[in-house]
Structure formats: structure tokens, C-alpha cells
Amino acid sequence: MKKVIVLAIAAALLPATATLAQVPAQKKPGIESKDYQWNKMEGKKAEALKLKGDPKEGEESYEVCGGCHLPSGAGRPDGTFPQLAGQHATVLLKQMADIVEGLRDNPTMYPFAKEALKNPQELANTAAYIQTLCVPTDHGKYEGKDYDAQVAKGKELYLKECKNCHGEHGEGNAEKFYPVIAGQHYKYLLRQMTAIRDGKRRNANPDMVKVITKYTDDQLVAISAYQASLMMPGRMCADKPAAKGGKKN
């Protein structure tokens, strides 16, 4: 049971195009419906969010997640496996429940999430442990042309509208289910924002949709480049010890 639950929380933010067991969830009307309520908490979602997770218990159950997301929770620089380290437990639990409820389309994740919610306490423990992990500094960043110019353009756009929810340092908001984006991989950020803008992320926050709909592809690239450069004071991992010769690993 623990391994199944661990796999579920580890894959909570995986792209829907991953290639594990493809079992579809029964879709529930999302952002496309006039009755959609982004932060409505009921059923298993409400039950899981009420529980207090134990990070010590969650450390053991997270071990299986490390196979894809790495023991550090850093994920993969190419964005196929997102950074989980330091993510708010509330965000992880909400996304898991949204997948089970058919609000977020992720057929790869669905069977694992469905099984995980059968044991909300163990799921809460794993999410609590992930939240304690320091956020890696060596994540995937923008590697295209004119890095400085793109980051500067992205910063201007981010501070104008994105900062209000995601915070000055990309720290998000646990109570409002706004995710940590500091330390997240550039390619993952760009993919998710594009999906939200194009109406393909059905459990998106309507407030974010209103903001992001007007952005062009080039603007999303710039915003993602800046977001991927963000670091949260006091939450980032310490620098690696210097190797022989004075160079860092």
C-alpha cells in the first residue's frame, strides 16, 4: 500500500503525456463550466486537507518517489518530472484529489491517485515530508537566446500581475492553494502556463486564466524564464561543498 501511495504523490504534478498505465478518469466539468468552483472542498479532498501530516512518517514513504523525482525532490531539468521539493502540502493534496475527481486530466496519474486517496493519512504524511525538502538551486532554467533580456521582460510582466498570487520570490500561498514556483523547471512552467492559457488545464484557477489568456507565446517564454530564476530566501538548498581545486560540484 505504501508504495502505491508514494507513487501517487510523486506523480501528482506529472504531465498528462507520461507513459505509464493509461486509465482514464471520469471527467467532471471544470473551468469550461459556469458552475465550476476552483477552491470548492468536499468529499475526499476535504478529508485529506483536514489531516495533519507527519513528515517523519512521510520520509519513508517518499523513497519510491525518488526514482523519478530524485531523493532531493528536484525532478528533472527537462521538466518531464517536476520539482516537488518544498511544494505546499495543500497544493499536492488538492492536485491529487482533482485528478481523482476528473478535474485535472492525467490518465497516467489517475489509478495511483485513486488508490492513494484510500489512505488519506499516509498521503498527508508524504505531502508533509515533501514540503520540508529544501528547494534545489540547480534546476532547469531558460537556455534560449538573450537570457538577460528574456528574464528582464519576464520580471516586468511577473511583478505586474503574477506576484499578487505567487509572491515576490515564487513562494505561493499554502492556504489559497497557490503553488511554489521558485526552483521549478523552466520547461515545466512553460508547458503548464501554455496549457492554462489554451484551456487545456481544466482545474485551473479562473483568476489566473483571466490574467494569462492575453499573453502571447513569446511573453509566456519570458515569464517562465523569470519564474525559473526565482529563489526563496531561507528555503533554498545550501551550496554544494567545494571540490578539490576550489571549484564547486
CA atoms within 13 A on the CB side of 99: 28
Give a yes or no: residue 247 inside a domain.
no
pLDDT (0 to 100) of residue 249: 43
77 and 17 share a domain? Answer: yes
**Residue 244 covered by a domain:** no
3-state DSSP assignment of residue 242: strand
* Shared-domain flag, residues 35 and 124: yes
Nearest to 171 by CA among 76, 236, 101, 94: 236
128 lies in the same domain as 173:
no
216/2: higher pLDDT: 216
Torsion sign, CA atoms 182, 186, 188, 191: positive
Q: How confident is the model at residue 246 (pLDDT cuts 50, 70, 90)?
A: very low
25 and 126 inside one domain: yes
Least confident interval from 21-35, 67-81, 155-169, 224-238: 21-35
> Would you state the pLDDT for residue 25?
63
- Give strand pairing partners of 242: 248
The pLDDT value given to residue 71: 92
Q: Output the pLDDT for position 179.
A: 97
- Within this chain, do residues 6 and 59 fall inside the same structural domain, yes or no? yes
Residue 155 maps to a domain: yes
Q: Residue 160: count other Cβ atoms within 10 Å of its Cβ.
A: 10
Supply the range of the domain harboring residue 217. 147-227
16: pLDDT strictly greater than 60: no
Q: What is the pLDDT of residue 46?
A: 83
Check residue 24 and give its pLDDT: 57
pLDDT at position 29 is: 87
C-alpha closest to that of 126 among 8, 44, 24, 234:
8
Domain shared by 203 and 116, yes or no: no
The whole-number pLDDT of residue 241 equals 66
Q: What is the pTM of this model?
A: 0.87
pLDDT in tens, 188-215: 999 999 999 999 999 999 999 999 999 9
The domain that holds 209 is classified in CATH as 1.10.760.10
User: Cell numbers 525518488 correspond to what residue?
Assistant: 66
Q: What is the pLDDT of residues 61-120, one digit of tens each?
A: 787 677 778 899 999 999 888 899 999 999 999 988 888 888 988 776 677 677 778 888
Mean pLDDT of all residues in 42-57: 87
Q: Are 86 and 171 in contact (CB under 8 A)?
A: no
**How many domains is the chain partitioned into structurally?**
2
Q: pLDDT tens for residues 122-177? A: 888 889 999 999 999 999 999 999 999 999 999 999 999 999 999 999 999 999 99
Name residues whose C-beta falls within 8 Å of residue 27's C-beta, 6 or more positions apart in sequence: 102, 105, 202
Alpha carbon 103 to chain centroid, angstroms: 16
Same domain, 21 and 120: yes
Residue 234 domain flag: no
**Among 53, 193, 46, 30, which Cα is nearest to 130's?**
53
Nearest to 80 by CA among 137, 153, 18, 38: 18
- Give the pLDDT of residue 66: 74
CB atoms under 10 Å from CB of 205, counted, come to: 18
Given a cut of 60, whether residue 4 has pLDDT beyond it is: no
The number of helix segments (H) and strand segments (E) in the chain equals: 12, 0
Whether 95 and 152 map to the same domain: the answer is no
- pLDDT value at position 19? 42
Closest CA to 35 of 103, 117, 107, 90: 103
The answer to whether residues 13 and 116 belong to one domain is: yes
Report yes or no: 68 and 10 within 8 Å, Cβ to Cβ: yes
